[in-house]
Amino acid sequence: MKINKSRLGRELGVDRRTVDRYLNGNSSCKTRNRKSKIDDLYNVISELLSEESIQTFYYKRILWEYLKDNHGLECSQSSFRRYISDKPEFQAYFSDGKRIQANKTVVRFETPPGEQAQFDWKENIRYITKEGEIIYVNVGVLVLGNSRFKSYGLTMSKSQSVLISFLMESFEAFGGVPKTILTEMWALW
């Protein structure tokens, strides 16, 4: 009796060559278990995505770039993303870990060109240098009300001379001075 391997393969949902292989007694699979290039960095990735890590990675791409730049990772971004997705302990970090962001609705307030700008300090931002030194920096931000064009200034202090210098540089970049500058009262002191 001759067996119809094609029909049997369709019924079992496998290729006819797979049916032939099993009929001939060769049931062993010839796929090889290779180690991933990324497996060498498993402990580093685990440490970076742990609760104790001071660094937050909001996207897998940023983690991939960090590992390429600092740990010599040599793989494509798509391979890295697949590796992270296949490891539940790593995928959980990106699904429900540190990267949760709140949905915020912003109501835009329109003003005519040149009418107003808003100034604010982003104060005492903790920064860790490559040597491990902790410093605190301040960022001055001036936003035009109409175009939302922004000017940023990074500084170690918030003195009056630093503020005036930042505002003068911003006005030069804007090509003029707005009629009104909105600020929080304590932002200027």
Domain boundaries, the chain: 1-33, 37-96, 116-188
Per the prediction, the chain carries an average pLDDT of: 84
The two three-digit tokens of residue 13, written as one number? 């949902």
Query: Which single residue is written with the structure tokens 């959980």?
Result: 92
pLDDT of residue 187: 45
More confident residue, 90 or 185: 90
Contact (CB, 8 A) for 116 and 183:
no
pLDDT (average), residues 156-169: 89
Q: pLDDT confidence of 30, banded at 50, 70, 90?
A: low
pLDDT of residue 64: 92
For β-strands 150-155 and 134-144, DSSP reports them as antiparallel
Percent of the chain with pLDDT over 70: 87
More confident residue, 52 or 189: 52
Query: Which single residue is written with the structure tokens 């001071």?
Result: 54
pTM for this predicted structure: 0.44
pLDDT digits (tens, 9 = 90+) for 125-137: 888 888 888 899 9
